[in-house]
Structure 1
Amino acid sequence: MADDRRSKRPARDGGRASGPRREGSGPSSSRSRDDRPARGDRTERPERTDRKGGGRPERGGKSGDRPGRKNDWKRPAEKQVDRSAEQAKYDGPDLPEEITGRELDRSVTAQLKGLPEKLAARVARHLAAAGMLVDEDPETAYQHTLAARARAPRLAVVREATGEAAYAAGHYAEALAELRAAKRMNGATDYLPIMADCHRALGQPDQALKLAKSPSVVNFAPEAKAEMTIVEAGARRDLGQVDAALRTLELAPLTSKTRASWVVRLRYAYADTLEAAGRETDALAWFHRTHAIDADEITDAAERAEQLERRQG
């Protein structure tokens, strides 16, 4: 995923029972003080009568036991059933207490303001957790986004986050479906490079090429345009069109003076394609040129260059 997508991925609340009742609320508070036995009175407490006149014995146990309290009756462990898959998806992974949802970018939290406050907070926490985990544990990040989607499926930012986390976790069909949904909701075209790469992963290079030729690509920012170029060249290689892949990459700004990650990735893709075309000397030169600007070591250009030098030596 692009480096700046992390904040948009994928806090929830929803439907849980409210906490214990306060003293003085509920049916048992309807009797007046005069009706209660005086302190020290050892007479048996009379049966409580409901509004229809039927008798019902008072609930046993300690004084103050009411539904929702800590001492409330629970189903025996042997009769409890496991959560369904849907319930587990809705609950999502555990949320660390230190994740509050305030880690999200303001543009994301602004889109959650239409939700009830507690629900928005819960969705925000799941999106923030997903953003923090997507690089080191993409599968758990994806599960967090599914929990957010279960609570707010009509928000484009949630569907976008789910799609990007699914892509990172290798669930390409799911990623494609989620990003299509997000695009329908907000009309954004930023997702097209990821969608095209999903088509490649699903063995549909022709569909990837169709997205690469979308009119909106012309207006992409340099980084997004570079990503689409790399995907387009990859789709050409999938079809066995290595020369066409080289031509696609040669039209990109390979010699740009910026050291941005997208230039590093473009140069690496070009060097890799040159090697695939059998042009090892040219490939070696471009692996070196890639390594020269790859300060963050996002590629293995140095290792690839070393391998080629050994082979040629």
Structure 2
Amino acid sequence: MAEQRRQGGPARGKGRPQGGRPQQGGKRPPRDRDWKRPADKQESRSEAQARYDGPPLPEDVTGKELDRAVAGQLKGLPEKLANRVARHLAAAGLLIDDDPETAYQHTLAARARASRLAVVREATGEAAYAAGHYAEALAELRAAKRMNGATAYLPIMADCHRALGQPEQALKLAKSPGVANFSSEAKAEMTIVEAGARRDLGQLDAALRTLELAPLNSKSREPWVVRLRYAYADTLEAAGRTQDALEWFHRTEAIDAEEITDAGGRAATLERALD
């Protein structure tokens, strides 16, 4: 996630009292209609409608492609609306790897219809992240987290902070209490992001220590182990430890059957440099 991709609002009532009661002095606070955006900042009706409509939906996408747990969260919607939202979410899921921008537009269409559902905000955040819209991704995932209290989004949120030039905020999320209860895969993702944030701050030794505390020697060949090893090898090279980096690129390649990294190519480049 982190290395290979790049590698809440004001308090309630702020600016006006709740309930629309007059402030001391007898002057009423401005109503919502008084707080209009300047004309040059207002979105045109056609732009809003285009986002609501979303990209064309493939005829063969029915919405039944969704995971049962996701589909279950749409049951509170009217049937026709639920079907439309489901189709946009399903289309986004099918496109997110190959065409993340169109996937993101599908999730915006779903959000325009069902913005109060955490599953919709989560999908919008993940698609925004995949498409490189990091500020939007962070906002959507924060909204989802407020709705359902889930912590699974923390690694992506932390990486968004990195992409936005806020490594200190990424490190704060990496230290969240909920991380201790993560699965091995999620812990690995957070570790990679945390190490990346340390690198962003020029703290290479701290980045290496962070990765060395992770299960780099796990016998598992799961992608999360591949990614951990790759991040470690990459950080070793950045630290000038070329021979150690070469070893870990080879160790990464040895378990990377799906070739999710370019560890083999990186190793070959280092070998040529060492000759």
Query: TM-score with structure 2 length normalisation?
Result: 0.84
**1:197 pairs with 2:159:** yes
Question: Which amino acid in 1 is paired with 2:51?
Answer: K
- Paired residue for 2:171, among 191, 209, 212? 209
Alpha-carbon deviation of 1:267? 0.0
Distance 1:158 1:122 in 2: 12
1:84 partner SS? helix
Distance 1:155 1:281 in 2: 50
**1:174 pairs with 2:113:** no
Give the aligned partner of residue 283 of structure 1: 245
Q: Residue by residue, what CA displacement relative to the aligned partner does 1:253-290 show, whole Å, maximum 9, x if unpaired?
A: 00000000000000000000000000000000000000
Distance 1:96 1:149 in 2: 19
2:261 partner SS? coil
Give the aligned partner of residue 83 of structure 2: 121
Distance 1:164 1:305 in 2: 32
Indicate the structure (1 or 2) with the bigger Cα radius of gyration.
Answer: 1
Q: CA RMSD in A?
A: 1.1
Distance 1:96 1:230 in 2: 36
- Mapping for residues 182-261 of structure 1, pairs under 5 Å: 182-261=144-223
Gaps of 5+ in 1: 3-81
Give the aligned partner of residue 108 of structure 2: 146
Give the aligned partner of residue 164 of structure 1: 126
Give the aligned partner of residue 7 of structure 2: none
Distance 1:84 1:169 in 2: 23
1:115 partner SS? coil
Q: Residue by residue, what CA displacement relative to the aligned partner does 1:214-250 show, whole Å, maximum 9, x if unpaired?
A: 0110110000000000000000000000000000000
Question: Which amino acid in 2 is paired with 1:246?
Answer: L
Alpha-carbon deviation of 1:118? 0.3
Q: Residue by residue, what CA displacement relative to the aligned partner does 1:159-195 show, whole Å, maximum 9, x if unpaired?
A: 0000000000000000000000000000000000000
Question: Which amino acid in 2 is paired with 1:124?
Answer: A
Query: TM-score with structure 1 length normalisation?
Result: 0.74
Aligned residues between the structures: 234
2:273 partner SS? helix
Distance 2:45 2:100 in 1: 23
Deviant stretches of 4+, over 6 Å: none
Alpha-carbon deviation of 1:83? 6.3
Question: Which amino acid in 1 is paired with 2:58?
Answer: P
Give the aligned partner of residue 273 of structure 1: 235
Higher helix share: 2
2:49 partner SS? helix
Distance 2:119 2:177 in 1: 24
Give the aligned partner of residue 308 of structure 1: 270
Gaps of 5+ in 2: 3-43
- Mapping for residues 77-96 of structure 1, pairs under 5 Å: 84-96=46-58
**1:297 pairs with 2:259:** yes
